[in-house]
Amino acid sequence: MMNMKPSSRPDIYFRPIRPSDLGTLEKIHGDLFPIRYETEFFQNVVNGRDIVSWAAVDRSQINGQSDQLIGFVTARIVLAKDSEVGDMLSYDSLKSDQTLVYILTLGVVEGYRNLGIASSLIREVIKYALSVPTCRAVYLHVISYNNPAIHLYNKMSFRCLRRLQGFYLINGQHYDSYLFVYYVNGGRSPCSPLEIATAMVKYMRNAFKSMSARLWRNEDRRVKWPKSRENRCLTTQRRNLAAECSGCECV
């Protein structure tokens, strides 16, 4: 495990991951994750081949470590129609260019945790997703026992949409995964049956109120009360009946 500690006033800076970060990136991944990543993955990250990435560095470090990774996030753009969350998105399926950003890996070395670095890295991804007009969401998987990560995504308004049974296979053992989504650029989840039913009831109630009001106005316009003395009494009675709740009595 890399044993780097922040100074009393760390100067955290975010930049893209570079080819010179390759060795450190592989080391941190090996320290943090039980899953082993292929060399091709790291080459794609440092060279920006279909992967976008951000590095966190502490510029207050000395002895040539001021540009060394202390945190990172990697992500990839995928087509919404080809993703596993396509059924949980409300988007125009006729537009084949609708995309999502999938977070691949996120990590911070132990000495720099609880400083808000992971949150800042996620915000960089969200900012990037917002800048892509066709992007409708950011999504990721979290292993079910990683409670700090689950808490972080909940705090950052990601929605946990699904629990995937046996998603990870680590050392011959299966582990569940949670699927988290953060909607951007108008993306949203499809309405649930309850939401649809509630919307229909509200629509019918408003339509009934509007129709009743129109019928009452039309009825008032159709009724012509004669101006004889007797009918003036009827008019008075009608007004008093309408105001009965105020305590008026018919004369």
Give the mean pLDDT of 184-188: 89
Rounded to an integer, what distance in angstroms lies between the CA atom of residue 231 and that of residue 227? 6
* Residues above pLDDT 70, as percent of the chain: 71
Per-residue pLDDT band for 235 (boundaries 50, 70, 90) equals: very low
Query: For the segment 40-85, what is each residue's pLDDT rounded down to a tens digit?
Result: 999 999 999 999 999 999 999 888 788 899 999 999 999 988 888 7
pLDDT of residue 65: 84
* Residues above pLDDT 90, as percent of the chain: 57
Per-residue pLDDT band for 159 (boundaries 50, 70, 90) equals: very high
Task: State how beta strands 99-108 and 159-170 pair.
Answer: unpaired
pLDDT of residue 63: 80
Print burial letters for 153-192: b (CB count within 10 Å at least 16), e (below 16).
beeeebbeeeeeeebeeeeeeebebbbbbbbbbebebeee
Per-chain mean pLDDT for the chain? 81
Query: For the segment 105-157, what is each residue's pLDDT rounded down to a tens digit?
Result: 999 999 999 999 999 999 999 999 999 999 999 999 999 999 999 999 999 99
pLDDT above 70 (res 240): no
Per-residue pLDDT band for 6 (boundaries 50, 70, 90) equals: confident
pTM above 0.85, yes or no: no
